[in-house]
Amino acid sequence: DAKTTQPPSMDCAEGRAANLPCNHSTISGNEYVYWYRQIHSQGPQYIIHGLKNNETNEMASLIITEDRKSSTLILPHATLRDTAVYYCIVRVANWAGGFKTIFGAGTRLFVKA
């Protein structure tokens, strides 16, 4: 699985969009970009994933560059409850095959009132 690089921390004002970047320059053609978050010390929570097209769901949007070497997770209207560590992961899509997944240190997002 390709490695990723994320800033260690970011701040965002409540109600504004939070844009979390991730670099994955060694991504392979069959690898997807996944985002998870971990609130306080709870288990990680799935947010979104994508291959090359932009994706949106009820939680967030994922923008992947055309060369797929970087991506941005967008929380459109951040709330205090979005304060968490956000992990960007690059891996093949099928988790069921038992592939290993490496979680890095992630980005600690602080949403401020």
Partner 1 sequence: NAGVTQTPKFQVLKTGQSMTLQCAQDMNHNSMYWYRQDPGMGLRLIYYSASEGTTDKGEVPNGYNVSRLNKREFSLRLESAAPSQTSVYFCASSVNTEAFFGQGTRLTVV
Rg (CA), the chain: 13
Sole window of 15-23, 52-60, 61-69, 98-106 interacting with partner 1 (rule: CB under 8 A): 98-106
49 counts as binding partner 1 under rule CB under 8 A: yes
Stretch that binds partner 1, among 15-23, 44-52, 63-71, 74-82 (CB under 8 A): 44-52
54-93 residues near partner 1, rule: CB under 8 A = 87, 93
Q: By the 8 A CB rule, do 109 and 88 touch? A: no
Distance in angstroms (rounded) separating the CA atoms of residues 33 and 48: 8
Q: Which of 5, 45, 56, 65 binds partner 1 (CB under 8 A)?
A: 45
The partner residues of 72 in beta bridges, in order of sequence, read 21, 63
Sequence-ordered list of residues with C-beta below 8 angstroms from that of 76, at least 6 positions apart, any chain? 17, 60, 61
- Residue closer to partner 1 by CB (options 96, 113) is 96
Check binding of 53 to partner 1 (CB under 8 A). no
Return all residues near 45 (Cβ < 8 A) that are at least 6 apart: 36, 37, 38, 39
Q: Which stretch binds partner 1 (CB under 8 A): 10-18, 35-43, 62-70, 71-79?
A: 35-43
Q: Examine residue 101 and tell whether it contacts partner 1 (CB under 8 A).
A: yes
Q: Does 25 bind partner 1 (CB under 8 A)?
A: no
